[in-house]
Structure 1
Amino acid sequence: MPSLTQRALARVPDRLRPFLVHHRRLVKFLMVGGTCFVLTVVVNLELKFTVLQHKPVVALTVATVIGTVVSYVLNRCWAFRAGGRQREVLLFSLVSVVAIAVNDVPLAVSRYVLDLREPFVSPFAQEVADFVSGMVVGTFVAMLFRFWAMQRWVFTRLADRPGAGPALVRTVTPEPGYAAPEMPRDVP
């Protein structure tokens, strides 16, 4: 029986499928990131409008730490499929600390350098500036850093595994005169 990913890929247009298969690690990383982004937004807003009302950078930091822990588990078990190693956990933690700082910088600049906060701007403008600087710009820059650093330093054993290359299997019976694109068997 084909995996969930294979069934989903079978529904993707033929022209797009090879690209997604070739860049499946990036696609999985982005899916994990999107899930953790939503989690981070929800936690950040909950903290920012309740217990950390006057500390937006702290609220974002706490939310990002929670999202990072979930991201580690999902990336390790699914996107990068790496085995558990103490070195991996340490490197992931170091990369994540740097990424959290990278994520916080745009919000801190928006609030405390550009003074996009009350009483200098309206409460609505402050919230929009906080969201754009912290959740959009900060998360995007931190995501680029994380993907690069995770591949470079953290989840490096993936390429060393035997059989890590794509194993191809035909998933669609081609019509006469048409060769169906092949998909890897090991895509979960």
Structure 2
Amino acid sequence: MTAAGTLGAVPPNPAQTSRLRTRLQALVRELGKFGTVGGISFAIDLAIFSVLRGSGTEPLLAKTISTVIATTVAFFGNRFWTWRHGQHTHMARQYTLFFVMNAIGLGISLAILALSHYGLGRIWPVFESQLADTISGQFVGTALATMFRFWSYRRFVFRVTGDSAKDQSVAPSSSSAH
């Protein structure tokens, strides 16, 4: 018991705690699926980029080609698995938005790669090596671009609503349905 005008402990609201826990669990599952699709796409991107750079392809062109191929794989994985409960009203619209968001993500990766290879490489030639290109373009650039992509896919492309998150948490066995 507290005196009038003083603050005391507020008892937890079980309904709010349960809803928050449910939403958090749904978000964790979503991040896991996004990460799995992203990991597969990253491996494809890395392999193609490495082969192209090894064959003498210019770094920015190699990154562009590898990203376009990996992005196509990521679209199908995210649409039909990660956010299959999201709004899917118009596939052409989603595909277009997905590629626009990936173009922005590619721009982020290319900016990091260009800064490393052409900016820092002018000062320190080691930054012009294939290893430096791989680290800056594939790891640093991709990490920054991935944060942007998760946010933009969820917000603009596959639009996860509150009802969609509830659907995922109510029927956990539905994650293996597709």
Instruction: Compute the TM-score of the two structures, normalised by the length of structure 1.
Output: 0.71
**Alignment deviations for residues 137-167 of structure 1 (CA, whole Å, 9 cap, x no partner):** 0110010000000001000156555962412
Q: 1:72 to 1:147 in 2, by over 3 A?
A: same
**Mapping for residues 9-158 of structure 1, pairs under 5 Å:** 23-50=28-55, 52=57, 55-81=58-84, 82=86, 83=88, 85=90, 86-115=92-121, 121=125, 126-156=129-159
Shift >3 Å, 4+ stretches: 19-22, 157-163
- Report the alpha carbon displacement of residue 121 of structure 1 after superposing the two structures with TM: 2.9
Structure 1 stretches lacking a partner, 5+ long: 1-18, 169-183
Residue 121 of structure 2 aligns to a residue in which SS?
A: coil
| Bigger Rg, which one | 2
CA distance in 2, matches of 1:49, 1:61: 15
Structure 2 stretches lacking a partner, 5+ long: 1-23
Task: Pick the structure with more helix per residue.
Answer: 2
Cα pair 2:113 2:136 within 8 Å, conserved: yes
RMSD: 2.6
Instruction: Compute the TM-score of the two structures, normalised by the length of structure 2.
Output: 0.74
* Number of equivalenced pairs: 151
Q: 1:129 to 1:156 in 2, by over 3 A?
A: same
